[in-house]
Amino acid sequence: DTAVSQTPKYLVTQMGNDKSIKCEQNLGHDTMYWYKQDSKKFLKIMFSYNNKELIINETVPNRFSPKSPDKAHLNLHINSLELGDSAVYFCASSQQREAFFGQGTRLTVV
């Protein structure tokens, strides 16, 4: 049983399109995150949710809209994709301690 699962694993799309990445955790954690990892491997936090409520929004363009229908799910919708959005997006969850990461979604915008 995968603790934090995200889909899809790979996503190739054209500029201007809209896409979504889904994330689910079965650990019962209250906090979920989205991180972006660029080509230099920097891991930057984008959003943090606690019990379905947005806690942190790290100056992410409003083309990115997270949605948490319940505390086990945190989806990421991206509008009008740009070349600079190409990266690996990681979902993670935690319960006031270590973060458990999903396998990542490699997004390539062409």
Partner 1 sequence: GQQVMQIPQYQHVQEGEDFTTYCNSSTTLSNIQWYKQRPGGHPVFLIQLVKSGEVKKQKRLTFQFGEAKKNSSLHITATQTTDVGTYFCAGDGTGTASKLTFGTGTRLQVTL
* Binding region for partner 1 (CB under 8 A): 31, 33, 35, 41-45, 48, 50, 55-56, 90, 94-104
| Minimum CB distance to partner 1, residue 22 (Å) | 16
Query: How far does CA 72 lie from the centroid of its chain?
Result: 13
DSSP string, 35-79: EEE-TT--EEEEEEEETTEEEEE-S--TTEEEEEEETTEEEEEE-
| Minimum CB distance to partner 1, residue 41 (Å) | 5
| Minimum CB distance to partner 1, residue 44 (Å) | 8
Of 75 and 94, nearer to partner 1 (C-beta) is: 94
| Minimum CB distance to partner 1, residue 103 (Å) | 6
Q: What does the buried/exposed string (b/e) look like for 42-57 if buried means 16 or more CB atoms within 10 Å of the residue's CB?
A: eeeebbbbeeeeeeee
Pairing of strands 10-13, 105-109: parallel
Of 65 and 103, nearer to partner 1 (C-beta) is: 103
